[in-house]
Chain A
Amino acid sequence: MVFVHGFGCDQQMWRLVAPAFEAEYRVVLLDLVGAGNSDLTAYAPARYSTLAAHAEDVREVLEALDAHEVIFVGHSVSAMIGVLAAAQEPTRFSRLILVGPSPHYLNEAGYPGGFELGDIEELLEAMDSNYLGWSAAFAPVVMDTPDQPALTAELTNSFCRTDPAIARHFARVTFLGDNRADLPGVRTPALILQSARDLIAPLAVGAYVHHQLAGSKLVVLNTSGHCPHVSAPEATVAAMRGYLQETHPLPV
């Protein structure tokens, strides 16, 4: 089971979900090139001008690990990266779990993507204004969570830190790209985990993805926000587990 993070953070986003599957699955976490602890110098803007390059990266990792029957779990933009990877190499993947997927963020005729071009420009502007948050290391954090001491050590590596120029480029690729045409080509069974109130990937978009992906199942979590795996990890884990059980029951 491979977990791929969305835009704006890194693999640490899965910390409340991924451990729940470690007993049953071989769990793989990765940072997309340009994020987290990846080699930032490997981020060549020309190569990463579409999501396909990230999908190739994911497949390369899986091939190096000799992973088969892969359950791909992708959040946000990485949901689409999973769709592309499954289209490129259908035999490698057994199921896709897409958390808050959106194939296209802009409103088009007959497609309610949710945003206008001006909104995306505003996002880029907000990113520029928060340059420090994206780039500089956060000071070591002492967290008031005595029951989760492992958190503290990890936090000193800082969360969701990235290079501002890369974040800006990746934001453009993510929010101005259009991967709607890639959906119908995917035959891998997929679970769409949709937050009931998601500003970034609204319900209508989740329904669209469900409609376009043959053999997909849409589960709407009664949560708010774009990151149910962070805000409602238990519900997310339960929905994932339920889907995995019903599509491929584990021997008891």
Chain B
Amino acid sequence: MKLDSDEPELPHRLDLRLTQESAEDLYEQAPCGYCSCLPDGTLVKLNQTLLAWLGYAREEVVARRTLQHLLTIGGALHFEMHGMPLLLLQGYVRELSYQLRRKDGTSLPVLLNADLVRDWDGSPLVLRIMLVDITDRRQYELELRRTKNLAEQQREQLAQANTALQTSNEQLRRANVDLDSFIYSASHDLRLPITNIEGLVQLLREQLAEDPGLTRELQPVLAMMQESVERFKRTIEYLSDVTKLQKEHAPPTTDVPLWPVVEDVRQDLEPLIAATGATLEVDVASCPTVPFSTKYLRSVVYNLLSNALKFRHPDRAPRVQIRCRSEAANVVLEVQDNGLGIKEAHHAELFIMFRRLHNHVEGSGIGLFMVKRSVENQGGKVEVRSTPGVGSTFTVYFPR
């Protein structure tokens, strides 16, 4: 036939041979396997297609073998335990998936449909069975099952990992709560004895006043005692600041104007700025406000700025840049100095309560802890980049 021909095609003529199609030929050469069995499975009739699939001659199987023989042993077990009772109870089975065993030992995946024909008295007479070759579909099914099993395994592993995570999360949460309550009771319980000690030092001082000679002699010791008491009280104050911060887990946020806060802090630190000859470069025009609580924003700016001055490099005057930028999700505040810098290995320790990396500088070890805690309480974060001997940059992300 010429597809590009302009000639009109002749209508199909009915092929008269089609009328020769017989039921017998259709049965024998059907594109599926047919067989009939006695109720015990004994084969009594098979079509040519099935015989060709199996590689048996008709006389090798008829009355000599059962349907179960044609299946793998596992398949036969399944048919006996599930297929056969179903056939007897409901009269048919559909789409049972088995492997046919060929004479040469190879196998052929098939779907089995069967009907039970009963005798006039209701007793089982014959099983009519149809088998469909599903070689390709079977490959596909195996692949599906393989990936399904894989997915299930991974799901189980994930679930286990998730459970483990939840457990350690819960442990961490409890440890945090314990720590918080410890800090609270420590700051509370230490207050009374230190007040007592301070009173006793005062009493001692008054009693010694009656003996000027002894007073002079002990004056340095008394002064040191008083100094220690003061230091102790300050530490307790810091601790109670921390507990306040913890109680206010998420203090209300407002849009806090940034520039006035920076200016306020700058004035507070003016003596230190003057003494160190520091230059301050403030560029916060791109984010007039920061979504935070006023009190803690001041604390953040104060701590970062005072650190930048305190940890200055001995060879040069401090130069501190305070800048900010607006991102989609955050307002970002950066404080950059040209100070001592911090070794990478110490970055993680920076934010730990009472951890101090430099002893030569006055400090409580609580500033950066407070910064991190207050920022994280609001869902933000603090990052540090630093090069020893060159300087540090602290970046604070305030989420919108």
Chain A residues within CB distance 8 Å of chain B: 6-9, 12-13, 15, 76, 115, 119-130, 132-134, 138, 141, 143-145, 147, 155, 159-160, 197, 199-200, 223-227, 230-231
Report if A231-B39 is in contact (Cβ < 8 Å); known contacts: A8-B82, A122-B75: yes
A139 to B, closest residue via Cβ: B94
CB neighbours (8 Å) of A199 from chain B are 68, 76-77, 80
User: Judging by beta carbons under 8 Å apart, are A6 and B81 in contact?
Assistant: yes
CB neighbours (8 Å) of B124 from chain A are 231
Q: Is B189 an interface residue (CB 8 A)?
A: no
Report if A126-B72 is in contact (Cβ < 8 Å); known contacts: A12-B89, A224-B39, A226-B80: yes
Q: Interface residues of B toward A: which range? A: 20 to 34
Give 19 pairs: A residue, B residue, CB < 8 Å, sorted on A.
Answer: A6-B81, A7-B81, A9-B85, A119-B77, A122-B75, A123-B75, A126-B72, A126-B78, A133-B82, A138-B90, A141-B90, A155-B90, A199-B68, A225-B39, A226-B80, A230-B84, A230-B89, A231-B40, A231-B88
Contact partner, A160, options B85, B91, B145, Cβ 8 Å: B85
CB neighbours (8 Å) of A133 from chain B are 82, 93, 95-96
User: Judging by beta carbons under 8 Å apart, are A126 and B74 in contact?
Assistant: yes
Report if A119-B85 is in contact (Cβ < 8 Å); known contacts: A132-B95, A197-B40, A224-B41: no
User: Judging by beta carbons under 8 Å apart, are A130 and B96 in contact?
Assistant: yes
CB neighbours (8 Å) of A9 from chain B are 81-82, 85
CA distance A199 to B88 in the complex (A): 17
User: Judging by beta carbons under 8 Å apart, are A159 and B80 in contact?
Assistant: no
List 6 A-B pairs, minimum CB-CB distance, nearest first.
A122-B74, A224-B40, A8-B81, A123-B74, A129-B97, A126-B78
CB neighbours (8 Å) of A147 from chain B are 122
Contact partner, B72, options A122, A155, A160, Cβ 8 Å: A122
Q: Is B143 an interface residue (CB 8 A)?
A: no
CB 8 Å contact bits of B312-333 with A (1 = contact, 0 = none): 0000000000000000000000
CA distance A197 to B41 in the complex (A): 11
B43 CB to closest chain A CB, in angstroms? 13
CB neighbours (8 Å) of B81 from chain A are 6-9, 76, 200, 226-227
Chain B residues within CB distance 8 Å of chain A: 39-41, 68, 72-78, 80-82, 84-86, 88-91, 93, 95-98, 122, 124, 141, 145
A-B contacts besides A120-B74, A130-B82, 10 pairs, CB < 8 Å:
A76-B81, A122-B73, A125-B74, A145-B122, A160-B86, A199-B80, A200-B77, A225-B80, A227-B81, A230-B88
Contact partner, A225, options B78, B84, B96, B98, Cβ 8 Å: B84
CA distance A5 to B154 in the complex (A): 36
B138 to A, closest residue via Cβ: A129
CA distance A160 to B88 in the complex (A): 12
Report if A225-B41 is in contact (Cβ < 8 Å); known contacts: A126-B77, A133-B95, A231-B124: yes
CA distance A137 to B201 in the complex (A): 88
CB neighbours (8 Å) of A197 from chain B are 40
B31 CB to closest chain A CB, in angstroms? 22
CA distance A133 to B96 in the complex (A): 7
CA distance A208 to B225 in the complex (A): 96
A224 CB to closest chain B CB, in angstroms? 3
CA distance A247 to B93 in the complex (A): 40
B309 CB to closest chain A CB, in angstroms? 66
CA distance A127 to B86 in the complex (A): 15
CA distance A133 to B87 in the complex (A): 13
CB neighbours (8 Å) of A8 from chain B are 78, 81-82, 85
User: Judging by beta carbons under 8 Å apart, are B89 and A200 in contact?
Assistant: no
CA distance A226 to B83 in the complex (A): 11
User: Judging by beta carbons under 8 Å apart, are A124 and B74 in contact?
Assistant: yes
User: Judging by beta carbons under 8 Å apart, are B86 and A159 in contact?
Assistant: yes
CB neighbours (8 Å) of B95 from chain A are 132-133
Contact partner, B74, options A13, A121, A143, A225, Cβ 8 Å: A121
CB neighbours (8 Å) of A160 from chain B are 82, 85-86
CA distance A78 to B72 in the complex (A): 25
B75 to A, closest residue via Cβ: A126
A125 CB to closest chain B CB, in angstroms? 6
CB neighbours (8 Å) of A144 from chain B are 91
CA distance A112 to B76 in the complex (A): 18
User: Judging by beta carbons under 8 Å apart, are A227 and B88 in contact?
Assistant: yes
Report if A227-B84 is in contact (Cβ < 8 Å); known contacts: A119-B73, A119-B77, A125-B74: yes
B132 CB to closest chain A CB, in angstroms? 14
CA distance A159 to B93 in the complex (A): 11
A19 CB to closest chain B CB, in angstroms? 14
A69 CB to closest chain B CB, in angstroms? 30
CB neighbours (8 Å) of A159 from chain B are 85-86, 89-90
CB neighbours (8 Å) of B86 from chain A are 159-160
B367 CB to closest chain A CB, in angstroms? 55
Among A7, A124, A231, the most chain B Cβ lie within 10 Å of the Cβ of A231
CB neighbours (8 Å) of A7 from chain B are 81
Contact partner, B97, options A76, A130, A200, Cβ 8 Å: A130
User: Judging by beta carbons under 8 Å apart, are A129 and B77 in contact?
Assistant: no
CB neighbours (8 Å) of B90 from chain A are 138, 141, 143, 155, 159
CA distance A132 to B90 in the complex (A): 17
B62 CB to closest chain A CB, in angstroms? 17
User: Judging by beta carbons under 8 Å apart, are A15 and B96 in contact?
Assistant: no
CA distance A15 to B85 in the complex (A): 11
B129 CB to closest chain A CB, in angstroms? 15
CA distance A200 to B96 in the complex (A): 19
User: Judging by beta carbons under 8 Å apart, are B89 and A231 in contact?
Assistant: no
Report if A126-B41 is in contact (Cβ < 8 Å); known contacts: A119-B77, A226-B84: no
User: Judging by beta carbons under 8 Å apart, are B88 and A119 in contact?
Assistant: no
